A and B are shown apart, each in its own frame.
Chain A
Amino acid sequence: MSPNKHEHEALRAILRRAYQERENVEVGDQWQEEVMRRIRELGEIEARPSSLVMFEQLVWRLAPVTCLLILGLTLLLSSFDFISGDDVIQLLMNSTEEITLNQFFGV
């Protein structure tokens, strides 16, 4: 064992002993009464979880359904033939004359 490690271990042993031997604390009947007084003041606890907890449970319950829905929509949308805005502009730029004539003659 290196001197440094030995030093640390010795110190740890001393500190651990000091830590374990804290003052002895005993609580009496009065303390118990005080706790029960506070408990009774709170009244009956609600077996029903709070609205925040219920909301959280709902979110987690709906999470798999939401994931499936997103996946389904993604597949559905990807099956459509999309034309981007750039493509439309490109199309108009390339055949401006044709479009103008078409519009003029109403063909």
Chain B
Amino acid sequence: MNTDSHSSADTEIVNQVVSGDVNAFERLLKRYQAHVVRIVKKHIPFDKVEEVAQDVFVRTYQSLPTFKGDDGFKQWLSTITIRTCYDFWRKHYRYREIPLSSLSEKHQVWLEEATSNSSSQSFHERDSQKEAREILDWALDKLSPEDRMVLELVYLEGYSIKEAANLLGWSTVNVKVRSFRARKKLHKLIKEMS
């Protein structure tokens, strides 16, 4: 099925749901659950992915009357997914009580090797993903929810400024400025650590 027919089929299902056929939503759920989970797992801690992905679909269901179909259902759903992830972090930061743990000496050594200019090539072959992930999570946890989302979308996922702005519903100028500042903060954090 090509994108156009997929899109019109989605619009048809949306119309069915809006006109009262709640069960028709299950078809959208089955079609797009993998897509939503793929996005959510990149932004949200492992143990919260299922919960947040559920929230995405509930929010999507509630927003269906506002769906216009201009960019297709998939794109619209991606936007809701990203904004739900952003809301998760806003809520998480508001209620965060546990002090942030610092990194161990092992991580510091890892960082020194990773950032060392001369050994960077050989480092690629033997780097440990686990340590990289822990350092990244540690650094992201030190950023605001806004900086975190922008950094993840632009710096780590490679979205353009315009695409990230569309997904977050912010202006391109805001995303551009935030992206620059967040990148600087990340580098500063890592530099201080190493």
User: A residues touching B (Cβ–Cβ < 8 Å)?
Assistant: 3, 6-8, 10-27, 31-32, 34-36, 38-40, 42-49
Contact = CB atoms under 8 A, between A and B. Distances in A.
Interface string B27-51: 0011001000100011000100110
A59 B54 CA distance: 35
Which DSSP category, helix, strand, loop or mixed, fits chain A's interface?
helix
Contacts, number: 107
A18 B129 contact: yes
B86 interface: no
Interface residues of B, number: 45
20 contacts: A6-B117, A14-B132, A16-B156, A16-B158, A18-B129, A19-B133, A19-B157, A20-B42, A25-B49, A25-B50, A27-B53, A32-B30, A35-B54, A35-B58, A36-B29, A39-B25, A42-B62, A45-B62, A45-B64, A49-B66
Given A10-B120, A35-B58, A45-B61, 4 more contacts: A10-B115, A19-B156, A24-B41, A25-B46
Interface of B: 17-20, 22-23, 25-26, 29-30, 33, 37, 41-42, 46, 49-50, 53-54, 57-58, 61-62, 64-66, 114-115, 117, 120, 123-124, 127, 129, 132-133, 135-136, 152, 155-158, 187, 190
